[in-house]
Amino acid sequence: MLLKYAAPLEQIDYALPDHRAWVEKQYERGLFLASGRQVPRTGGVIITRPMPRGKLEALLATDPWAEQKLVKYEICEFEATRTAPELMKLNEAVLQH
């Protein structure tokens, strides 16, 4: 999914520690696969494991940035049909889902 900042960077940065803690929790739960800032810094990107859209939307609503209306999420669903050899385990997990 894509995150688009909906507030000045000062507000984004102020709430960044809470957002990072939330992101870390999703990695611990095994839900997130990759994440980071966009360049230029206008938002971010998160790649998740496959899950029902309703579950994903409910999860995103718990992000402190979303709760404070600092970001807007754009969900872009896709099915990975091919990956680089380094990502073969990911592709196998997706195909088993």
**In this predicted structure, what is the pLDDT of residue 97?**
54
- Tens of pLDDT, residues 45-63: 999 988 999 999 999 999 9
Residue-range definition of the domain harbouring residue 43: 2-96
Judge whether 94 and 39 are in contact, CB under 8 Å.
no
Q: The domain that contains 80 carries what CATH number?
A: 3.30.70.1060
Do the beta carbons of residue 51 and residue 93 sit within 8 Å?
A: no
Domains in the chain, number = 1
Query: Across the 97 residues of the chain, what is the mean pLDDT of every consecutive 10-residue run?
Result: 97 98 97 95 94 96 98 90 75 58
Q: Work out the number of other CB atoms within 10 angstroms of the CB of residue 10.
A: 7
What is the residue-averaged pLDDT of the chain? 91
Predicted model pTM: 0.85
pLDDT at 80: 74
Please give the Cα distance from 19 to 17 (Å, whole number).
Answer: 5
